[in-house]
């Protein structure tokens, strides 16, 4: 029988597609970092 090919096209599932996730991961990490660092809406109430 033939070799089984995964959905991503590589036989082991870790082909060139796995490298395409890094820019999206980096983008989400930066957004998450900004959300953690920025003050919340209660910060304006504390300043009053």
34 has pLDDT over 90: yes
pTM: 0.48
Mean pLDDT of 19-43: 91
Q: What confidence score (pLDDT) does residue 27 get? A: 96
pLDDT at 36: 93
> Which is more confident, 47 or 4?
47
The count of structural domains within the chain is 1
Range of the domain at 48: 1-48
Inter-residue contact 10 to 17 (CB < 8 Å): yes
Rounded Cα distance between 5 and 12, Å, is: 8
Mean pLDDT of 40-47: 82
Statement: residue 20 has pLDDT above 60: yes
């Amino acid at each position: 029988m033939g070799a089984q090919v995964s959905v991503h096209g590589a036989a082991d599932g870790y082909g060139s597609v796995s490298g395409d996730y890094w820019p999206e991961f980096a983008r989400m990490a930066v957004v998450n970092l900004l959300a953690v660092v920025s003050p919340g809406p209660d910060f304006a109430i504390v300043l009053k």
